[in-house]
A and B are shown apart, each in its own frame.
Chain A
């Protein structure tokens, strides 16, 4: 060790010595205070020596026991060292059981001779005090006695000796502690108990202690510690917050520049948290206890009324009225006169206002209607809906007629025919006979296979469903025969839903399937007219007579009581229209019986017997021959139309009894005098027996079908037509009455169409200009009075809207690449109108009619009827002008002749004309000669050959 270090150590020793002295001083200072008995325990830390004077003695006294104590404690210390530290620790940690901390003042210490650091020291802290001494002290000092806090315990102490222990470090809060129980006393006096003995002679056992005994594993018993452990566990219950701080690289290590800044303008660096009053703490909670109870209140009341006997009573009044005399007096009074004078201007004002315009007319209500007429372009076109063609039966043939099924929706029947002219037909006779002539019935449910095929003896050019029974179909053949079919057996097939007839096998036993289930059934005709009595040319139009009327042999329209359509009218180009009756010849009612019998066995081909009575012997009941008014030739009809309409029962009301006919007299023929003929039938007076016929030569003929007695021959035959007009430049292919005006007829033929109004005989009310393309078919719109459709040979369809324009169609749309042959618009439902269009290639196109063409505009009906009226007036004017022009022409002619100086009314004969022409020719030759001579081309000297 070096010198200075030694010095330091010595200095330290000195210092510590000084400190010791200081401590002593403080202890003394602390000792002085306890005189009052109120010394604080902390200040008198080592309050041992009572006075200065005693110090030396105390020091001495202290030194002696110290040596003893030291030796003793050395032993004591030795002994506990090997022991586990448990006991000493316990002493240090807590107050031993049964001990109470006790403060003993200096005086008490003297009394009980246990002065600190004198009688008791840190090494030897235990002092035994006699109980009797304490009791005496209690008596002497009472409450001042230091044992007072434990007085009871002391009194209760069983033995006479009480142990107090010096606690120099104030471990337990006081300078002493007292054992208040015998056990504690024993423990203090003999701290190691029996172990002490073992400790003395336990040198050998120490080796055992050091020997390692591996701990025995025991079953762990839970005392709840695992819960604590669990609670102590630190578990992450949320994601750790990651903070990344970035800094621009160039700022790394950049020198900082600090400078003064005003707080007011540094918004980013200054955050002020001002104190504020929290209002929530000011709320005072006031509670109020209240209670209420409801008690029902009861009242009793009663009333009583007298029952009075109800009696009938009545009263009558009449309005007060003035008598004539009174009225007169009032009227004469001045009051009334002034009143009326005053009133009149007001009234005239109001009335005139109303006259000038309707003030309350709401424009908005009438605005919506206008939309329809213009519409948006997108909705104006016919949309292709579906198309049908059959590779076997209809391909490369022409569609001659289309009919919608009247009751089943989405069923269309189509007649197809060979595309051959008459000559070609004869040339290919063999082939034509071998191929079946068919009507195809299509359903929207199956676009590939026809639902039904109706077989005919020859190609069908016209057919129609019976209006009263849609299962009966009549057709007109190319060879002039009228054919009837009964498809009642297959009606279900038409009604079937989509595809069901194709999957029908499910409920049939295997091996027993109908081999024809997938085949389209072919229905053979069940009646055909006798060829001798049929038409001699192709039937071009056939129609059922409306079910409420029938014609007798004289063409008189009569009531049909059965309301079953039973008569057919047909026309062909053999100059006549025929009327056929489907009932057996014997009389009405037979139809029903005939139907009943058809339940019996059918004939081999499976044809129902419905019209068996007619087959091959059927004759027309009435023939309307169409002779021309002037001699030489007849009209060859292609189309006809009668005024009576199916479903229009209005004429029935005007029927008269057959017996008192006014027409009977006009008839001349004794028909009605025959007994039993139409006896019970009423004649329909209002039925117009005149009808329009369109002919092959483009004429339109208006004729009465009722035969009359010819004045020249005396024969009963069809009268001459009322009028006819050769107006079309091609055969008439459509003759149809408007569904809204039964006296307006649309006639299409050649390149033009005309509109006719019955009663206007002088000509059509509208005639179109010739179209560039031949027109092939046409049909009125079923829903709009002013609209009709016309099909053309170039495959397009014209839509005419008479209210829009009459000089050109309002729309033209191409439908098919080949000529269209027929057309039939049909309202399938309120919201869907479809148009069936058949073309020359055997394809049936179904087009959807747009809303604008099916929805009539407001007042369309009145508008169009006004238009027709105007046209009729124009027609009348034209007729009157004809006469005028005739007169004018005559006058002009006369004037011309007078000017020429030629005697009027002298017709030049042919000779005269020839003479004149010769004279003119001679004049011309003269002139030519002079001209040539002038040019010197002709020599005058040349002798004339004649001369």
Chain B
């Protein structure tokens, strides 16, 4: 079954301009990554915090609502984050390359 995960991640990775994919658990501990260790740790830590904050914003506005996707557009990259109860999937894409 682990290969299933592998395959889906590969599918994402195959998209144009995708720089890296990180799977993080709820505590911000990286589980899978396609990047080097230090970047992974940094991304994992910072984006877990940001996503939790964003999620709390959405929930505070409407307790029945929930955050499903977070896209952070920067000059160089676009960071895509999908939070779920237990895990976080982070993808970094360079949109100008597409």
Interface residues of A (CB under 8 A from B): 319-322, 327-328, 330-332, 334-337, 339-344, 346-348, 350-352, 354-355, 358, 360
Contacts and interface: CB of A to CB of B under 8 A. Distances in A.
Given A328-B2, A352-B15, A354-B93, 14 more contacts: A319-B29, A321-B30, A336-B5, A336-B31, A339-B87, A344-B11, A347-B82, A347-B91, A348-B12, A350-B69, A350-B80, A354-B17, A358-B98, A360-B73
B82 A330 contact: no
B91 A331 contact: no
Contacts of A319: 29, 41, 44-45
B57 to A, nearest CB: 19
A354 B92 CA distance: 12
Contact of B89 (A331, A339, A352): A339
Nearest to B98: A355
A337 B3 CA distance: 10
Given A319-B45, A340-B9, A348 B15 contact: yes
Contacts of B1: 332, 334, 337
A337 B5 contact: yes
Interface in B12-51: 12, 15-18, 23, 25, 27-32, 41, 44-45
A735 to B, nearest CB: 40
A448 B73 CA distance: 63
| Minimum-distance CB pairs A-B, first 4 | A319-B41, A351-B15, A355-B98, A354-B95
A321 B32 CA distance: 11
Contacts of A343: 82, 84, 89
Contact of B98 (A331, A335, A354, A360): A354
Contacts of A344: 8, 11-12
A340 B71 CA distance: 17
Contacts of B31: 322, 327, 330-331, 336
18 contacts: A319-B29, A319-B41, A319-B45, A320-B29, A322-B29, A322-B30, A327-B32, A332-B1, A339-B89, A340-B23, A343-B82, A351-B17, A354-B17, A354-B78, A354-B98, A355-B98, A358-B95, A358-B98
Query: Interface residues of B toward A: which range?
Result: 35 or more
Interface string B73-98: 10000101010101101010101101
B71 to A, nearest CB: 6
Contacts of A327: 31-32
A351 B2 contact: no
A330 B27 CA distance: 13
B68 interface: yes
Nearest to B37: A321
Contacts of B15: 348, 351-352, 355
A339 B86 contact: yes
Nearest to B18: A351
B62 interface: no
A355 B16 contact: yes
Contacts of B16: 351, 355
B17 A355 contact: yes
Nearest to A349: B69
Contacts of A321: 29-30, 41
Contacts of A320: 27-29
A898 B4 CA distance: 69
Nearest to B7: A340
A534 to B, nearest CB: 59
Contacts of A341: 4, 8
Contacts of B25: 330
Contacts of A342: 84
A670 B63 CA distance: 90
* From A322, A327, A344, A351, residue with most partner B Cβ within 10 Å: A351
Given A336-B5, A344-B8, A351 B93 contact: yes
A186 B92 CA distance: 136
* From B4, B16, B31, residue with most partner A Cβ within 10 Å: B31
A360 to B, nearest CB: 6
Contacts of B45: 319
Contacts of A339: 84, 86-87, 89
A840 B52 CA distance: 80
Nearest to A327: B31
Nearest to B78: A354
Given A319-B41, A319-B45, A330-B25, A351 B91 contact: yes
Contacts of A334: 1
Given A322-B31, A343-B82, A336 B93 contact: no
Contacts of B32: 327, 331
B23 A336 contact: yes
Contacts of A352: 15
Nearest to A347: B12
Nearest to A319: B41
A350 B32 CA distance: 21
Contacts of A336: 5, 23, 31, 86-87
Contacts of A332: 1-2
A358 to B, nearest CB: 6
A334 B1 CA distance: 8
Contacts of A350: 69, 71, 80
B80 A340 contact: no
A620 B72 CA distance: 68
A839 to B, nearest CB: 51
A251 B25 CA distance: 109
Contacts of A328: 2
B42 to A, nearest CB: 9
B77 to A, nearest CB: 10
A347 B12 CA distance: 7
A538 B95 CA distance: 61
Contacts of B95: 354, 358
B34 to A, nearest CB: 14
Nearest to B2: A331
Contacts of B98: 354-355, 358
Nearest to A328: B2
A334 B85 CA distance: 13
Contact of A335 (B68, B73, B80, B86): B86
A331 B5 contact: yes
B76 to A, nearest CB: 13
B23 to A, nearest CB: 7
Given A331-B31, A347-B12, A358 B89 contact: no
Nearest to B11: A344
Contacts of B17: 351, 354-355
B19 to A, nearest CB: 12
A354 B15 CA distance: 10
Contacts of A354: 17, 78, 93, 95, 98
A781 B59 CA distance: 62
A871 to B, nearest CB: 28
Contacts of A330: 25, 31
A351 B8 contact: no
B68 A346 contact: yes
Contacts of A355: 15-17, 98
B89 A347 contact: yes
Nearest to B5: A340
A317 B93 CA distance: 30
A130 B72 CA distance: 132
Contacts of B41: 319, 321
A326 to B, nearest CB: 9
